[in-house]
Amino acid sequence: MRKVIILLMVFAFQKNYSQELFVVTDPASNVPANSLAINIMQSAFKEKFESGYNYHFMPEVTYGINKNLMIRGSAFISTRSDALYAEGGGFMLKYRFLSEDDLNSHFRMAAYGRYSFNRADIHQEQIEILGHNTGFETGIIATKLIHKLAISSSLSFEKALDNKPNYTFPSTFSNNATNYTLSFGKLMYPKKYTSFKQTNINLMVEFVGQTINENGKSYVDVVPAIQFIFNSQARLDLAYRQELISSMLRSAPDGFYFNLYYTFFDLKN
């Protein structure tokens, strides 16, 4: 009986949230309570002022403390120094404070905070504490699911600090920014659920932007993606990030994402 209940929970999770699992942004929904998600995030971005690509390997582990609260730990490894180099890591806490459910739709809102530490060189005006800067970010997320379409948006404040021990934040750069995102995800397959083992195929497009608060310099990127979910637990993301507009210095704005994600459900039973 316990296994049947777990399977029903997994099936419900697949049906309601599969198209909310975005590639570069977080939805307001959380990892289920007592579940552990492992995300092997990889990216290869083309260097703007040098030849070649910059590879980032950023594994994440997320745990659902309860239905409203989750915690995440991340590590940052890259090849900016021409070899795999452990640059730092970070922690994130997300709290879902609003849930409204209807028969074929729901609405979620969540607040989150993130802190990261990094020892790499500071080489661009863009502030990015996920893999580049030491600093913190706090923000709010709203996600609406209507049938097979998910729409999610976020707004956050981000501040960069010194990348200790060797790199102080440049006095010529502004150290804080406002971030904003808008994401769309649509479940394309299956047309009708008959089993939790069915493969899901989601198409999505995400818009990611930032404005430096002191000088108003900004960028906006677009991230189209395809996502496959297997057996309701394993996930594969393929995406490309393209700069649409930018007035700030960015060392590698365009590139590819390749993510592998797996969820272990109901660990306490």
How large a percentage of the chain has pLDDT more than 70? Answer: 93
What is the C-alpha to C-alpha distance for residues 218 and 127, in angstroms, rounded to an integer? Answer: 11
Do the Cβ atoms of 227 and 233 come closer than 8 Å? no
pTM of the full predicted structure? 0.90
Give the per-residue pLDDT at 16.
Answer: 47
Mean model confidence pLDDT for the chain = 91
Through-space distance between the first and last CA atoms of the chain, rounded to whole angstroms: 12
38-70 pLDDT tens trace: 999 999 999 988 888 999 999 999 999 999 999
Q: How far is CA 33 from the centre of its chain?
A: 19
pLDDT in tens, 196-208: 789 999 999 999 9
CB 54 within 8 A of CB 47: yes
Report, in this order, helix, strand and coil percent for the chain, each rounded to 5: 5, 55, 35
Instruction: Check if the beta carbon of residue 34 is closer than 8 Å to that of residue 256.
Output: no
- 99-139 pLDDT tens trace: 998 888 899 999 999 999 999 999 999 999 999 999 999 99
Identify the CA nearest to 226 among candidates 207, 208, 240: 240
Output the pLDDT for position 184. 97
pLDDT value at residue 60:
97
Per-residue pLDDT of 139-157, as tens digits, reads: 999 999 998 999 999 999 9
- Mean pLDDT across 164-177: 96
Q: In terms of DSSP bridges, do strands 53-64 and 149-160 run parallel, antiparallel, or are they unpaired?
A: unpaired
pLDDT at 19: 56
Band of the pLDDT at 21, cuts 50, 70, 90? Answer: confident
Residue 11 reports pLDDT greater than 60:
no
* pLDDT band for position 191 (cuts 50, 70, 90): confident
Condensed to tens digits (0 to 9), the pLDDT of residues 222-243 reads: 999 999 999 989 999 999 999 9
| Residue 1, pLDDT score | 44
